[in-house]
Amino acid sequence: MTAPLRSPEPIVVEVALAERSYEIVIGRATLASLGRRMRALKPRAKAAIVTDTMVASLHLAATEAALAAAGIAATVVTVPPGESSKSFEVFERVCEALIAARIERGDLVVALGGGVVGDLAGFAAAVIRRGLDYVQVPTTLLAQVDSSVGGKTAIDSRHGKNLVGAFHQPILVVADTALLDTLPPREFAAGYAEVAKYGLIGDAAFFAQLEADWREVFSGGPAREQAIAVSCRAKAAIVSRDERETGDRALLNLGHTFGHALEAAAGFSGKLLHGEAISLGMVMAFEFSARRGLAPPGDFERVARHLAAVGLPIHVKKMAGPLPDADRLMDLIAQDKKVQGGRLTFILARGIGKAFIARDVEAAEVRAFLVEKLG
C-alpha cells in the first residue's frame, strides 16, 4: 500500500450519527491524549477502566497515567483474558463492580482491551443505571478496525456468539497503533482478517493494495495506520447509514455466518481465534458464491491465496481438535442473528469488492456444501 510518511498528527475518522456522533482517533502514541480527550467531552466525569489481566500488565499503567494527567480519578475492573469472559457470570461481576465503584450516569466506562473487553464493557455500560457513556481504547488490530466501532455490544450464550447484547455507541474511540506492537503474530494476523474484509465487501482497490503491501501493515510502517483508517472509514460510513443493521450493515458480516458457527463449535477457545474463524468463513463464502455461479472462481482462489500468505487458515479440515459435523454447524447457523422467520441469510459475493445480502439461502444447499468441506 502506497502511503504518506507518518505524520505526528493522528488520523481522525468521524462516525456521523447526529447528536451521537463520535471520533475515532488513529495513530501512534494517541493513548497519551486519552485523558485530555475525555475531559473535553465530559469535564467532571470520573472513570472506571474495564480490562483483562493480560492487557493490564501491558497497558494499564500508561492508561491510568493518561487519565491522571487530566485529573480524572479512575477505578479498575479486571477480567480474565479470552472469549470465556463474555459470559453471564463475568458480565454480572463487571456490573456489580461498576455499581460498587459508584460510577454514575455522568461518569465514563473505559474499555481497555480487545474485542472481548470492548463487547463486555460496552454491554455493561449500556444497561447499568439505564445507560452510561463509554470510551473504547482497543488494543488489538481486530478491535481497532471492527469491534470498537459501531456500538455493537454483547456477551455469548451457550447457543452462540453475541446473542445477548445491545446497540450502544461509544462517545470516543482512541486507537493507538503502537499498542499493536505487543500483539503476538497470531493475534495480529487474526485481526488482519477483518481488514481484508473491508476490501472484499466493497473496495476491490483496497484489497489489491493489501495484496501488494500487507507486509508493511504487519511490520508497523505507515501503511498500518492507513489500512486501519481505510477500514474505520468504511465501517463508519456503513454504520452511519444503518446503525441497527436493518439494511446494508449486514454486509459487515461477510464470513461471519460460517465463521461464528466454527468458532462456537471450537468452544470459543484458543483453538480457533475469532479472526481465524472469519478467515475460514470468508473463504467459504467466496467458494460457496463461486459454486453458485455468482463469483468468478479466480476471485475465490485469489482470496484464499492472500489470506494463506499472511498466515491465516483457509481449510476447515485443518482446524485444531475434532471437526464438528455438518448437522452441528447447521444448528449453530440457525441461531445466527441474521436469520429471519427461520430463513437463512448469508453475505455472499459477485466478486472481490462486490458483496451482497443473500436471503432465503436453501439450508439443504448449505448443508451439502458443509458435508463436502468437512468430509
256 is catalytic: yes
- Whole-number Å distance between alpha carbons of 45 and 104: 9
The answer as to whether 317 is a domain residue is yes
235 is catalytic: yes
130 is catalytic: yes
The answer as to whether 6 is a domain residue is no
Of 161, 249, 306, 337, which one is the catalytic site residue? 249
pLDDT at 160: 83
Domain containing 287: what range? 188-374
Final residue before a domain boundary, out of 143, 159, 182: 182
Identify whether residues 207 and 170 lie together within a single domain: no
Of 59, 256, 306, 373, which one is the catalytic site residue? 256
pLDDT digits (tens, 9 = 90+) for 110-134: 999 999 999 999 999 999 999 999 9
276 is catalytic: no
Of 23, 197, 253, 306, which one is the catalytic site residue? 253
The answer as to whether 283 is a domain residue is yes
pLDDT at 2: 43
- Give 59's DSSP letter: I
315 is catalytic: no
Between 160 and 249, the more confident residue is 249
Identify whether residues 141 and 195 lie together within a single domain: no
245 is catalytic: yes
Using 50, 70 and 90 to split pLDDT, how confident is the model at 5?
very low
- Give 343's DSSP letter: B
Query: By percentage, how much of the chain surpasses pLDDT 70?
Result: 97
253 is catalytic: yes
CATH at 58: 3.40.50.1970
- In the predicted structure, residue 3 carries a pLDDT above the cut 50: no
Identify whether residues 367 and 296 lie together within a single domain: yes
The answer as to whether 3 is a domain residue is no
Identify whether residues 123 and 252 lie together within a single domain: no
User: What's the rounded mean pLDDT across residues 74-80?
Assistant: 98
* Whole-Å CA distances, 107 to 47, 78, 159, 172, 349: 6, 18, 34, 14, 43
pLDDT at 159: 86
Of 197, 260, 306, 337, which one is the catalytic site residue? 260
104 is catalytic: no
- Whole-number Å distance between alpha carbons of 113 and 76: 13
The answer as to whether 5 is a domain residue is no
pLDDT digits (tens, 9 = 90+) for 283-340: 999 999 999 999 999 999 999 999 999 999 999 999 888 889 999 999 999 887 677 7
Identify whether residues 161 and 212 lie together within a single domain: no
pLDDT at 7: 54
Q: What predicted TM-score, i.e. pTM, was given to this entire model?
A: 0.93
3-class SS of residue 157: strand
Using 50, 70 and 90 to split pLDDT, how confident is the model at 268?
confident
Query: By percentage, how much of the chain surpasses pLDDT 90?
Result: 88
Final residue before a domain boundary, out of 125, 148, 182: 182
CATH at 271: 1.20.1090.10
Of 44, 130, 158, 318, which one is the catalytic site residue? 130
- Whole-number Å distance between alpha carbons of 153 and 141: 18
Of 245, 263, 276, 287, which one is the catalytic site residue? 245
pLDDT at 6: 52
The answer as to whether 330 is a domain residue is yes
Tell me the pLDDT of the chain averaged across its residues.
94
Of 194, 225, 263, 276, which one is the catalytic site residue? 194
The answer as to whether 324 is a domain residue is yes
Identify whether residues 175 and 217 lie together within a single domain: no
Identify whether residues 240 and 137 lie together within a single domain: no
- The pairing of strands 172-176 and 22-27 is parallel
Q: Tell me which H or E stretch contains 258.
A: helix 256-265
The answer as to whether 4 is a domain residue is no
- Whole-number Å distance between alpha carbons of 310 and 143: 18
What is the tally of structural domains in the chain?
Answer: 2
Identify whether residues 301 and 370 lie together within a single domain: yes
Final residue before a domain boundary, out of 158, 182, 206: 182
- In the predicted structure, residue 1 carries a pLDDT above the cut 50: no
pLDDT digits (tens, 9 = 90+) for 219-240: 998 899 999 999 999 999 999 9
3-class SS of residue 13: strand
